[in-house]
Amino acid sequence: MSPLQPYFQQCLFSVSGPCPSLYISVSKRSFISCCSSQSQTAVVNGKLDSRIAERDEIRLGLPSKGRMAADTLDLLKDCQLSVKQVNPRQYVAQIPQLSNLGVWFQRPKDIVRKLLSGDLDLGIVGLDTVSEYGQQGNEDLIIVHDALEYGDCHLSLAIPKYGIFENINSLKELARMPQWTVEKPLRVATGFTYLGPKFMKENGLKHVIFSTADGALEAAPAMGIADAILDLVSSGTTLRENNLKEIEGGVVLESQAVLVASRKALIQRKGALDTTHEILERFEAHLRAIGQFMVTANMRGSSAEEVAERILSQPSLAGLQGPTVSPVFSKRDGKAVADCYATVICVPKKALYKSVQQLRAVGGSGVLISPLTYIFDEETPRWRELLSKLGL
């Protein structure tokens, strides 16, 4: 029997107050996943007990399947944080570089729920999932990195291109349509039952009702089940193929993969903040590096300054902080003499060929190009931001 079971029996639906999202999750969604036996958040004698579960490992939740799964593993691999998973059906794995961390594969929405319940400490999911299942505004979730640069999509309202909607192209026009009344509200099909109503309310649409389904929502208008849908869009193909259109002002949220953490875990769990710092630094340094190449070349010249001046005369050769120019020594008459210089610069991928041409134009030869793994800068702004969100 879990140590919390007696509490659950006494106060099954009294988990509220400081943690309202837990209450909503319990009443509207999966009770079991929110009230895991390992979570130590419970109301005892009217007080919130917010101790975190005792365990030695820090837990990172990663998507077990779906469109985020492979890209998440690729990102970690590119950051030299490869996940060692014996086979894809095994839901627990390790990252050898982070010895105090265990990886748990879960469905994206369960990652967010388990962060809230204290069963996970860190997770990687889409911002849409955090916003929907983390009930934005909940103080216990912190976005550590908000732009991991994959899983891009947006949550958007879409209506049919035909019939009464033919000339409706904005949310304002949709709201002004005389058709929507108390008796006959606008019917919206969505899987986003928290963000959907919130968005409509914020935008002053009064007569709206929602229905929900797990997928293929784009069929709902043609089936006569709904007037509009609210769903994720990336390429726009599914909308187009189902004769639907997005409207001005209808985007609820722009989303991409994010690193999210439990505030409680960062503050209370031993090692969690240090591990988060390392993951954040590696992500930042890698994401900074993927847009850049390192270019090295030899340059003849009379001095390092003269070579640097020639390089800086070219618009694409400034590098991240100006070019590095170092003497290359050869022995002449028994003496070490520098008559050639090596230059190293970082060049954005899209300017690569232009940079090579410009290097050659100012006397560069033997140009070598290598991909960059990391660019570690000074302390990242995201880390400072995280510390300030934690009040540290």
Ligand X SMILES: O=P(O)(O)OC[C@H]1O[C@H](OP(=O)(O)OP(=O)(O)O)[C@H](O)[C@@H]1O
Binding stretches for ligand ATP (CB under 6 A): 63, 66-68, 107-108, 126, 128-129, 151, 153, 232, 234, 255
- Stretch binding ligand X (CB under 6 A), from 203-211, 212-220, 303-311, 377-385: 212-220
Select from 35, 111, 144, 233 the one that contacts ligand X (CB under 6 A): 233
9 near ligand X, judged by CB under 6 A: no
Nearer to ligand ATP, 41 or 129 (CB): 129
Shortest Cβ 199–ligand X spacing (Å): 17
**How many residues form the binding site for ligand X (CB under 6 A)?**
11
Q: Measuring CA to CA, which residue among 143, 202, 141, 192 is closest to residue 171?
A: 202
SS3 percent helix, strand, coil of the chain, rounded to 5, is 35, 30, 40
Q: What's the rounded Cα separation, in Å, for the pair 94 and 83?
A: 6
Partner touching 255 among ligand ATP, ligand X, none, CB below 5 to 8 Å by kind: ligand ATP
Shortest Cβ 78–ligand ATP spacing (Å): 19
Partner touching 135 among ligand X, ligand ATP, none, CB below 5 to 8 Å by kind: none
Partner touching 68 among ligand ATP, ligand X, none, CB below 5 to 8 Å by kind: ligand ATP
Partner touching 107 among ligand X, ligand ATP, none, CB below 5 to 8 Å by kind: ligand ATP
Buried b (16+ CB within 10 A) or exposed e, 212-250: eeeeebbbbbeeeebbbbbbbbeeeebbeebebbbbeeb
CA 339 to chain centroid, in Å, comes to: 49
- Give the residue nearest to ligand ATP (CB): 66
Report the C-alpha dihedral over residues 250, 256, 261, 263, rounded to 10 degrees: -30
Shortest Cβ 167–ligand X spacing (Å): 24
How many degrees, rounded to 5, is the angle at CA 26 between CA 22 and CA 32? 105
CA distance to 158, 211, 219, per residue, from 240 (Å): 10, 22, 12
Partner touching 237 among ligand ATP, ligand X, none, CB below 5 to 8 Å by kind: ligand X
- Give the residue nearest to ligand X (CB): 215
Partner touching 301 among ligand X, ligand ATP, none, CB below 5 to 8 Å by kind: none
Structure tokens at 211: 């229905």
232 near ligand X, judged by CB under 6 A: yes
Using CB atoms within 10 Å of the CB of residue 123, give its burial: 0 to 12 exposed, 13 to 18 middle, 19+ buried: buried
DSSP E strands, the chain: 42-44, 47-49, 58-63, 92-94, 101-106, 122-126, 141-145, 153-160, 186-190, 208-211, 228-233, 244-255, 257-262, 292-300, 324-332, 335-348, 364-371
Partner touching 281 among ligand X, ligand ATP, none, CB below 5 to 8 Å by kind: none
340 CB-near residues (< 8 Å, 6+ apart): 298, 299, 300, 301, 327, 328, 330
- Stretch binding ligand X (CB under 6 A), from 27-35, 104-112, 232-240, 363-371: 232-240
Nearer to ligand X, 65 or 360 (CB): 65
Nearer to ligand ATP, 221 or 364 (CB): 221
Nearer to ligand X, 78 or 246 (CB): 246
- Stretch binding ligand X (CB under 6 A), from 9-17, 82-90, 169-177, 210-218: 210-218
Q: What are φ and ψ of residue 158, in 5° steps?
A: -135, 145
Shortest Cβ 341–ligand X spacing (Å): 50
Q: What's the rounded Cα separation, in Å, for the pair 98 and 101?
A: 6
Amino acid at 359: L
Q: Measuring CA to CA, which residue among 266, 2, 300, 336 is closest to residue 120?
A: 266
Nearer to ligand ATP, 107 or 198 (CB): 107
Nearer to ligand ATP, 63 or 323 (CB): 63
Select from 106, 117, 156, 238 the one that contacts ligand X (CB under 6 A): 238
216 near ligand X, judged by CB under 6 A: yes
- Which residues of this protein are in contact with ligand X, per CB under 6 A? 215-216, 218, 231-238
